[in-house]
Structure 1
Amino acid sequence: IYAKGSYYKQTYNKDLIEIGKVFSDKYREWAWREGRDFFPPELYEEDTPPDIYIKHKIKQYLEEITPASLDQIQTQYAREISALQDIRPHAIITTNYDNFLEMIFTEYTPIIGQQVLKLNHSSIGEIFKIHGCISKPESLILTSDDYEEFTTKKKYLSAKLLTYFAEHPLLFVGYSAEDPNIKSILCDIDEIIATNNELIPNIYILEWDNEITRKALPSREKLIAIDSHRSVRIKSIVADSFDWVFKAFGANGAIEKVNPKLLRAILARTYDMVRCDIPRKTVEVDFQMLENAINVEGQLPKIYGITTLTNPTALNAGYPYNLTQVANKLGFKSWYHANKLIEQIKDQTGINIKASDNKYHIRIKVGNTDFSKYSEAAVILLNSVKNNEEYNLEI
């Protein structure tokens, strides 16, 4: 095995990413010939990515070597893991494929691969698996093609991660920071946070050395080469046990005894309370209006378009119907006919009663979905329109 490894390193000038691409191609060829019985049938469908075979094998291998539970961890490592858990970091960023971190931080939510770019996150209690996860083998960053795609999108990832680096210390654990993706992200951080090759103040790299002694004086800084002309300086910690390091980082106890999953839920609901149909740039107010908003409880949130739902029962009583129920009360079987009456009002008056919260309609946001509810006044109004009677809008 070693001889074969040396052959590929020699052939491809030690470019491990390019070697990953070669291995992927060879796995695909083998999978479609004598290796066919080693893969599930769905991997042979035409829309399956060609690198799925080696990634499937990586998934199987990591599942085999990953402990089924923390109870299987040897005693000397159990102390380190317990100290790591006590840090309770705001977020974890990893290039690891396996699910071991999810086992350690059971209350944290994994964000896998491109989900990091697509989803809104709560900035706490998340494991950012930027190189993918074996739970989704197709997400693994392994081949040169994967790295190229990552590079095209990493600027946005860097921007998201910068918010963490600016507010919290970053600890690289068991990692040499030689991965090109990590280097490029560090380069972006260096451009913004540090200038003139200054030390990046709150980034640490923790390296293991079993031969270090108490009298040793390892370097307190590490220089990481970004390219042939540039490097970044970060703080360095060298230890033969990570136990005391984790305890030091966990001594702060900022969110001790707080469930990250609960915090995520609270933060998510806080963001959902902000209406998306309000002015987003300029809110014009005069001094008298501002003074009144400060002195009268509940007025300031109204200026910003934020409402407080203190009585859900009253809301349901005031707006008890969805559009289908409104249609049924008007004698129709489908919501479509009630909606046509609303459009008729818009054509006749220029007012769309669904475009705002008013005495006829209110829009409620639940999760990522908006729901429209209608009042008894809406039923009366639409009944007048249906019967070609005169009506007055009170918006």
Structure 2
Amino acid sequence: MNYSVYEADVTSDIKECLNELGTQPVLFIGSGLSKRYFNAPNWIELLEQLQKACPYVPHEVGYYLQDGRSLEEIGSEFTEYYRKWAWDNRGKFPDKLFEASTPKSSYIKFMIASILDVITPDSIHGVQSEQHLSELKNLQEIQPHAIITTNYDMFIENIFTDYQPIIGQRILKPDTMSIGEIFKIHGSTNEFMDLVFNKEDYDMFLKKKKYLSAKLLTFFAEHPLLFIGYSANDKNIQRILSDIDEIISTDGDLIPNIYFLEYNKNLTENDIPSKEKVLFINNKEIRIKYIEAKNFDWVFQAFSANKAWDNVHPKLLRALLARTYKLVRSDIPRRSVEVDFDIIERAVSDDQSLPKLYGVAMLDDPSQLNLQYPYNLTQIGEQLGYTSWHSANRLIELMYKKTGVNIKETDNKYHILIKTGKTEMHKYSKHVVELLRAVDKGEKYTIDL
């Protein structure tokens, strides 16, 4: 076995996860992505640049690190130096920052935005390397359901130009969590005063984190997740993974829909990296799928293999969902629109009528197929008393290990693979519920394909 075999195995696993969930991936993007494609500073490097730019900061960053200061605490101390420097040198900062109501952290955050905006490419064609340009084009092809990032810069908006940025506290509004959105949970340079940067900012962010985690629940449970540009030791990533573990309650089991992509410049064709990574967070063991790569092309291609959005713009889908949300949440309850409830009732009770209500034509008549195979794997898990698809998939794998029969490999009385263009979806019959219930209880069972 060598790296090419590893690449094929990981690609197959990614496609299997996409097929099982039947949803587009969600991307979690950290500063490593900006570092890779336009040499943006990481957090320590950003602090070093801020120290050099301000003559009032008395020591280099290493001085504060030697004292055991956290990066957020260093940010708080630098905030005070920047405020003094700004008031003594008002011409270096916008006039609006000297109003009494302006937060004292605005001066250093203005400098952060200035540093990042100067170096951020306006499009993917602003990157220097042809290899990196190829990777970014493949990244675009993933067409993710949504993107979540702790990055301040606007490079992600320049990659996914049809996606809508949702910044800071606006993420907590009830009409977010649509499709085609970029959730910038630590703020953005174009609204620099709200960046999450120093200790005070992080303390406030952590107080509200539980509300954000609740909003991300659907993403964690229903989508493949790909983490790009993070270190496994990053506190931000560990907080997110800890929330995921609490939601899914893995008890040390491998979380099957989370992939962690890490760059390794020393990889050779003879290397065989690990496919899993074990993290110890809050005295708990969390196992996630782990991908090491020097070239990201093949990873992004794997995640775009089953994309279902060809010739469909995220803006259109987002507008459709937003309008539907407003219709249900406010227009109909307030009776500000005329509603034919008979038409709506018939539409929502029939899988064929609802698409027609939206002006969407179905490719064929799957009604008989839906009757025979009405469930996806998430629904199978719910039928068995679980909260997600992971446990149902575990039972199928357990049955395969004991009998050598993988019911997902063929179309049979338990399972069918439905293909529409490039999209594939696994559907299951009521018979698989009975079969897996017996497997779960340790009872005798017979597989009748």
Q: 1:128 is paired with a residue of what secondary structure?
A: strand
Q: Which among 1, 4, 7 is matched to residue 63 of structure 2? A: 7
Residue 159 of structure 1 corresponds to 214
Q: Does 1:48 align with 2:102?
A: yes
Q: Which among 300, 307, 325 is matched to residue 246 of structure 1? A: 300
In 1, the alpha carbon distance for the partners of 2:150 and 2:348 equals 44
8 A contact 2:175–2:322 mirrored in 1:
no
Gaps of 5+ in 1: 280-292, 304-309, 311-395
Deviation readout 1:166-210 (Å, 9 max, x if unpaired): 111111101114443432232121012133211211111111011
Q: 1:48 to 1:81 in 2, by over 3 A?
A: same
Q: 1:118 to 1:177 in 2, by over 3 A?
A: farther
Q: Which amino acid aligns with 2:122?
A: A
Deviation readout 1:202-257 (Å, 9 max, x if unpaired): 11111101111122122211223323x22422111010011111011011112222
Q: Does 1:149 align with 2:204?
A: yes
Q: Which among 162, 175, 187 is matched to residue 120 of structure 1? A: 175
Residue 265 of structure 1 corresponds to 319
Q: Which amino acid aligns with 1:37?
A: G
Q: 1:68 is paired with a residue of what secondary structure?
A: coil
Q: Which among 82, 103, 119 is matched to residue 137 of structure 2? A: 82
Q: 1:112 to 1:223 in 2, by over 3 A?
A: same
Task: State the shift of 1:4 in Å.
Answer: 1.6
- TM-score, normalised to structure 1, is 0.68
Aligned residues: 286
Q: 1:236 to 1:14 in 2, by over 3 A?
A: farther
Q: Which among 250, 254, 263 is matched to residue 208 of structure 1? A: 263
8 A contact 2:178–2:322 mirrored in 1:
no
Q: Which amino acid aligns with 1:214?
A: E
Q: Which has the larger radius of gyration?
A: 1
8 A contact 1:88–1:256 mirrored in 2:
no
Deviation readout 1:117-143 (Å, 9 max, x if unpaired): 124125210000001000100121111
In 1, the alpha carbon distance for the partners of 2:269 and 2:347 equals 58
8 A contact 2:230–2:237 mirrored in 1:
no
Task: State the shift of 1:302 in Å.
Answer: 11
Q: 1:131 is paired with a residue of what secondary structure?
A: coil
Q: Which amino acid aligns with 1:53?
A: Y
Q: Which has the higher contact order (CA 8 A, sep 6+)?
A: 2
Task: State the shift of 1:164 in Å.
Answer: 0.9
Matches within 5 A, 1:104-143: 104-143=159-198
Q: 1:241 is paired with a residue of what secondary structure?
A: coil
Q: Does 1:18 align with 2:73?
A: yes
In 1, the alpha carbon distance for the partners of 2:79 and 2:279 equals 29
- TM-score, normalised to structure 2, is 0.60
Residue 230 of structure 1 corresponds to 284
Residue 73 of structure 1 corresponds to 127
Q: 1:202 to 1:138 in 2, by over 3 A?
A: same
8 A contact 2:177–2:215 mirrored in 1:
no
Q: Does 1:36 align with 2:63?
A: no
Q: 1:266 to 1:237 in 2, by over 3 A?
A: same
